[in-house]
Structure 1
């Protein structure tokens, strides 16, 4: 098992909550859940890139063009830098935060990430 598989359920839980928020027209809450999914999946090239793509779509749908532009750059970074570990831990991934700035992990996020890494070790 790799990290992408191990963190899958935690990321998907946030993405489901983002979708529910979108269907309830709670755009700020939707983006918060996308940010949470980003933090959780940041060490996986797949989840890291996927959440940035969803943030780009969010920006386009809500006509937040600085977000769209920021996400285009972040998608390139996620694709090219995640695998080599160039990640600012805890960064929420939105264009309102420097893509190089580490942020503190919430206790819940830290626990989910540590649990996923532990499952990887047990499986290998």
Structure 2
């Protein structure tokens, strides 16, 4: 697990995606906002604080967009995230959305893979 409360390199990567999400949400681009949140989730998984933060933001965005299925899924993931992160068994590349299996590994986008390697994650 990354240093607590959050590794500065991981925090920088997550913050960049969360800024992208805020911008997309501010202009009403729900698809791009979720895309950025998924990317933030992929990056955050190795750090408990960041992982919980991203799921919390996903929960709030699900509520904001009246997506109750997503909000319910995020509640479940908020409960599961500590177990996965602390045990080191988070599914690599998983986007963290309610519509995907929370235990399924997924491909990591190439740019995120490179950024994580450069950040030491």
Does the alignment pair 1:31 with 2:3? no
Give CA-to-partner distance per residue, 1:86-110, whole Å, 9 cap, x none: 1000000000100000001111111
Question: Which segments of structure 1 move beyond 3 Å, counting only runs of 4 or more?
Answer: none
Who is 1:57 aligned against?
60
Q: 1:13 aligns with which of 1, 12, 16?
A: 16
Q: CA deviation at 1:40?
A: 0.9
**Superposition map of 1:85-96 within 5 A:** 85-96=88-99
Aligned with residue 86 of structure 2, among 83, 88, 93? 83
Name the CA distance, whole Å, in 1 between partners of 2:80 and 2:7. 18
Q: Deviations over 1:61-105 (max 9, x none)?
A: 111111011000101111232021010000000001000000011
- Counterpart-to-counterpart distance in 2, 1:116 and 1:24: 30
* Cα-Cα RMSD: 1.5
Query: Could you say what secondary structure the match of 2:120 adopts?
Result: helix
Is it true that 1:47 corresponds to 2:19 in the alignment? no
Aligned residues: 118
Say which structure is richer in helix: 1
Structure 1: state its 5+ residue gaps.
Answer: 119-124
Deviation of the 1:27 alpha carbon: 1.1
Q: TM (normalized to structure 2)?
A: 0.91
Query: 2:71 matched to which residue of 1?
Result: 68
Aligned to 2:117: 114
Q: TM-score, normalised by structure 1?
A: 0.89
**Unpaired runs of at least 5, structure 2:** none
* Bigger Cα Rg: 1
